[in-house]
Amino acid sequence: MTMTGVDTVTQWPMYIGGISRISERVSPVTDPGTGMVVATVPAASQEDAQKALAFAAQGAEVAANMPTHQRMQILNQTADLIKARRESFAMLIATESSKTIREARKEVDRCVDTIRLSAEEARRQQGEVIKFDQAPGSENRVGYWQSGPVGIVLAITPFNDPLNLVAHKVGPAIATGNAIIVKPSGLTPLSALKLAETLYEAGLPGPVLSVVTGSAQDFGDILVQDPRVRMVSFTGGLKTGKHIAHQAGLKKISMELGSNSPVIVLNDANLEAAARACVSGAFWAAGQNCLGVQRIFCEESIYDEMKKRVVQLTAAIRMGDKMDESTDMGPLITEREAARIENWVDEAKSQGAHVLVGGERKGGSYYSPTILEDVPPGLIVLEEEVFGPVASMIPVKDLDSAIQQANNVNYGLQAGVFTQDISKAFYAIKKLQVGGVMINDSSDYRIDAMPFGGVKGSGLGREGVHFAAEAMTEQKVVCFNL
């Protein structure tokens, strides 16, 4: 079945072992901007999960025996097809998710890069000679170590990057010779299904990849607990991550669990660049971004000027129809999320926080881009991940005070620091408890080749194509006694 857009499809199939399957039980896919159902997908059952596992067991054998050049060819052909269908993929992302059409096109471009990086990673799965004669009594031994696939990878992905975050798990899995089962977000499954169809078209054997749709509550634990699954790669919330970790047992786990990322702006910073980066980082994809700027710490001497710039830029953001080329920010993913953001901001206001700009729900799933100040310590908008269009500005005495407050949360994904002082930059790099420090960029900066992940409640392990590929392999030692 060729899928080119939600306007031509009533019910999309899921794929189990490369075979399209429909179901009498379906889950609706809703456009967050209009609230209209744009498609349905199967609501998978426990039986479907068991079938996916059985196919994956076959697929693991197929994938492990697939030559490197074939893996590379499939991935590069997939990247070519996605690039050729850029607008179709972008329209799909913008329809099922919160992203504007301009944001969606950028995600498609990143996905192409992720798949190409994965193809290159396939050729890098090598090993090393081991000098066994370094140990007395081992003079007659020679050997090496080599990398091999873990077997079956289970990938669980969120709604905010419905195409590229799937690619970040599927691409490295294929490159390293694994089979993979994808459970995409129930809110945005269509992009994952279209990616799977494209991979099959490019020559990927069906049993190597399954995409199982529906509610994880119905079948998720079956997939996570099954001993045939040797790695779980999860991107999502901390609460769900903890549940998966407890259910998984003895297998590899990689988790990216979000953050409430800080940006520190020192008094020698380029304030125009800092303000633009902070506003862009705070409101990309309506703030539904694990790297999104949530806490902006400014030295007191430049706080008022920085505040002025941030408020002006935020007030100029155009919120509206996702398909309008002039729109800067779309809706939240659901009305429930918009109501949650409204409650969090109202709580902050009731405790003395001041709204500098925004602070209003605009109906349905829309919430205006919002900047707060004077937020009392300990409130949820500072302590937890807002995952919405809300950032708080906080004046600080000096760099040490900013670092102390930045670290005083249970998250640590990325941070941004704006300064022209190289010594202060390296001091911040050393002291900030995060997985990445962006100097003269916001916390939102990322390329798909870099290691990506955090500390504390922000997760375990690292993504980024090379690093995900490493995690999806096991090392085997070979020794000859001559």
Residue positions annotated with a catalytic role: 256, 290
| Cβ neighbours of residue 227 closer than 8 Å, sequence gap 6 or more | 249, 251
Work out the burial of residue 94: count CB atoms within 10 Å of its CB; fewer than 13 is exposed, 13-18 middle, 19 or more buried: buried
Q: Is 23 helix (H, G, I), strand (E, B) or coil?
A: coil
End-to-end CA distance of the chain: 57
Contact (Cβ atoms closer than 8 angstroms) between residue 435 and residue 452: yes
Dump the DSSP string for 55-81: HHHHHHHHHHTS-HHHHHHHHHHHHHH
Q: Tokens 């002006």 map to which residue?
A: 312
Distance of alpha carbon 50 from alpha carbon 219, whole angstroms: 9
Q: Tokens 């779309």 map to which residue?
A: 330
Query: Taking Cα atoms as reference points, which of 266, 254, 209, 250 lies closest to residue 396?
Result: 266
Sign for the pseudo-dihedral over CA of 181, 94, 414, 348? negative
Contact (Cβ atoms closer than 8 angstroms) between residue 198 and residue 144: no
Distance of alpha carbon 269 from alpha carbon 277, whole angstroms: 12
Buried b (16+ CB within 10 A) or exposed e, 67-86: eeeebbebbbbbbebbbebe
Distance of alpha carbon 60 from alpha carbon 201, whole angstroms: 19
Q: Could you tell me the two tokens for 386? A: 């807002």
